[in-house]
Amino acid sequence: MNRNLIALVLIIFAFAGIRSQTPFSFNDLMNVKRVGDPQLSPDGKTVAFTTGVVNMAENRVLTHIYTVKIDGSDQKQLTTGERSHSSPRWSPDGKHIAYTTGGQIWTMEIDGDDKEQVTKISSGAGNPVWSPDGKWIAFNSDIYPECNSDDCNKAEDDKAETSKVKAKVTERLLFKHWNEWRDRKRTHVFVVSSKGGAATDLTPGDFDSPPYGASTGADYAFSPDSRELVFLRNPDKVEAISTNSDVYTVSLSNKIQKNITVTNKGYDASPVYTADGKYILFRSQPTATFEADRWRIMRYNRSTGETVELTRGFDLQPDNITVSPDGRTVYFTAGERGKSIIFSVPVEPDLRLRSATFVKPVITRGFAGDLNVTPDGRTFVFSSSSMIAPAEIWRVNADGSGLTAITRGNNGLRLSNAEELVWKGALNSSIHGFLLKPTNFDPNRKYPLIVLIHGGPQGAWNDNWGYRWNPQIFANAGYIVFMPNPRGSTGYGQKFVNDISADWGGKAFIDIKNGVADVIKRPYIDKTKIGAAGASYGGYMVDWILGHNNDPRFKFKTLVSHAGVYNLESMASTTEEIWFVNWEFKGMPWENPVNYQRWSPHRFVNNFNTPTLVTAGELDFRVPVDQSLQLFTALQLKNVESKLIVFPDEGHWILKPQNSEFWYKNVLDWFEKHLREG
């Protein structure tokens, strides 16, 4: 090796060493490969999955489909080009993969060859599901309910596109959702030959399938004999005040529908057939209008019509249902204390036994999702991430041994470990959360503290990876980051969840304040430099702090409110899912004004004096932008230092890469100004 080559090698290694010592930044976050949606082949030997890569110049994430052997070998990229490809789904014989691109369903051979377009429907197609016999593919499409042909739908779209009048007209509620106007359109389930051709609407009528709020994606499935399909719809007249998502079956031959959960008025979701066709399993909530109620796994007997609960006595939230190949066991994930654990329950437990619960933990490590089981039932394949590791595809033996990463797309990141904390909150209850330090942490220094408050309020900070509100960005900008899970957080039992309703600024506020008071006892935290930030309910809590920043133990020096609920009385009639405010505050403002007046931050404007950055998306229909505008107006009129940033092309979340960069920069600059300068 000549001297010049040796010098070049040394420079490369030196640069790599410097890069590895550089704290994690926004650019690093955007360079993370977004691995997800693992789908195990029918023979259990190969995993199809997606990987998204950020293109900052084009302001988007480009997603493509890959396969990899279950042992991690022979990774292949199956799709290319400038259009994203997603939702890979194996055909039952394992010879083809269905997927979505350009708003249509396609199929390809498992080596990526012979790509064929299956749907050519003007209203678009997504979420493909194969029939067990391989002859059909079910999918979702947004259509005009009065239309009975694709030509009719196209004509209506063309008329709306070419008209100079852009007025929005509606005669019902739930006419908008998250960040889109729904106008007259409804989501329906269609079926099409896997070889292509005309599609058939299996759920005609003026309703959505799946309904808003209940859906986790493709909430429909074929029976083992491919003659029937199970799906969701809400039969109630005013959907905006109802969580009554029911499970229906429909015959592919005569299109007759049957409601199998007609007596349950809460959410029903995630239906799936057992392999022998004897049962339909689904998740269910018993309480009407309460979207954060305890989820149960139910078993419906197709012959007798009997429905029983399989998860009685289990006090967490089942998700991600999958049935073992032998049909004897239901596997699912559930959040517990910031983790997502794999559990099991028998399909046919002896219900005569007085067992506290038939549910048993299987894999208690990590944050599992997208659960798959090999045909022999011995191995799980799933996605998993943590605060120090972006999502990858993993496998583990059913006994918990042999945990191995199948993909390794994001090695070499320098990240901060999360420390788990427990402290005493309101009513002397134990409260749990996380603490992150900078990667170059020096115990002899004093650091400012940033408190991140999660949304929901029935949500949680978990030990998983995220792109919005990524705590590594804040920690590695030189802050200690505290992430409390106060009352209302999921993963701590249903009573803990329930305790937030009609008490938004009560016990949860005490839980957070007591956590901050406990954290600042650490000698490396400067208790004179504390900031807080949050979105949605987290933004509500920031707005609440503005009017109640009077704890004798510490003061918040600055605040950041994103999409925060500021005026409960006005938001009740401008948010789209009215069942939410109905439950949380026990009616609408004219029905029960006490709860709204007691817990609305806007009633405490006279106490506002903390510098506050306000951010929002103009397309946010969950917490409409007027909430942030009202807050900023009050801050300005009270002569409180404040700044407003509104993104006209974003909804509840700031998702576009360049907007995300702008948001992170402004938030960090705000904290730099108020917690570090001077």
**3-state DSSP assignment of residue 21:** helix
Please indicate whether residue 496 or residue 213 has the higher confidence score (pLDDT).
496
Q: What is the pLDDT of residues 635-646, one digit of tens each?
A: 999 999 999 999
Residue 126: is its pLDDT beyond 60?
Answer: yes
* Nearest CA-CA partner of 287 in 306, 264, 271: 264
Residue 266 Cα distances to 235, 489, 501, angstroms: 12, 20, 17
pLDDT of residue 23: 85
127 close to 218: Cβ distance less than 8 angstroms: yes
Confidence of residue 355 (pLDDT cuts 50, 70, 90): confident
Q: How many CB atoms lie within 10 A of CB 80?
A: 10
Q: DSSP secondary structure string, 204-235?
A: -SSS-SSPTTT--S---EE-TTSSEEEEEE--
Q: Which CATH superfamily is domain 418-676 in?
A: Alpha/Beta hydrolase fold, catalytic domain (3.40.50.1820)
Q: What is the pLDDT of residues 144-169, one digit of tens each?
A: 999 999 999 999 999 999 999 999 99
E strands of 237-278, at which residues?
246-251, 257-259, 268-273
Would you say residue 213 has pLDDT above 90?
Answer: no
pLDDT (mean) for 195-223 = 88
pLDDT at 19: 40
Tell me what the mean pLDDT of segment 32-37 comes to. Answer: 96
Position 14 pLDDT exceeds 80: no
Residues near 533 by beta carbon (within 8 Å), at least 6 away in sequence = 450, 451, 452, 453, 469, 542, 559, 560, 561, 562, 667
The number of beta carbons lying within 10 Å of the beta carbon of residue 587 is 15
For residues 414-439, average pLDDT: 96
- Contacts by 399-404, CB closer than 8 A, 24 or more apart: 400/362, 400/363, 400/364, 400/365, 403/365, 403/366, 404/72
Per-residue model confidence (pLDDT) at position 3 = 45
| pLDDT digits 0-9 by tens, 497-508 | 999 999 999 999
Mean pLDDT of 601-618: 98
The pLDDT, as a whole number, for residue 628 is: 98
Question: Among the listed ranges 204-218, 487-501, 590-604, 606-620, which one has the minimum average pLDDT value?
Answer: 204-218
Integer angstrom CA distances of residue 546 from 280, 533, 603:
50, 12, 11
Residue ranges of the domains in the chain? 32-102, 418-676
What is the full DSSP assignment across 556-598? --EEEEES----HHHHTTTSS-HHHHHHHTTS-TTT-HHHHHH
Strands, E assignment, 398-443? 404-405, 418-424, 430-436
Q: State mean pLDDT over 590-600.
A: 97
| pLDDT score at 130 | 98
- Give the single-character DSSP code of 113: -
Judged against a pLDDT cut of 60, whether residue 575 lies above it is answered with yes
Taking the C-alpha atoms of residue 640 and residue 119, their distance in angstroms, rounded to an integer, is 56
Rounded to two decimals, the pTM is 0.94
Of 287-296, 353-362, 519-528, the poorest mean pLDDT is in: 353-362
Band of pLDDT at residue 21, cut at 50, 70 and 90: low
Output the pLDDT for position 15.
Answer: 34
Could you report the per-residue pLDDT of 468-508, keeping only the tens digit for each? 999 999 999 999 999 999 999 999 999 999 999 999 999 99
Q: How many CA atoms lie within 13 A of 66 on its CB side?
A: 26
For residue 634, pLDDT beyond 70: yes
Task: Give tens-digit pLDDT for 220-279.
Answer: 999 999 999 999 999 999 999 999 999 999 999 999 999 999 999 999 999 999 999 999
Taking residues 611-621, report their average pLDDT: 98
At residue 10, does pLDDT exceed 50?
A: no
Mean pLDDT value of segment 182-197: 94
Q: What is the mean pLDDT of the chain?
A: 94
Residue 593 confidence (pLDDT): 97
Q: Which residues are catalytic?
A: 536, 620, 652
Quick check: bond before 210 cis, omega within 30?
yes
Judge whether residue 188 has pLDDT over 50.
yes
* pLDDT for the residue 408: 93
Query: Predicted confidence band at 216 (pLDDT cuts at 50, 70, 90)?
Result: low
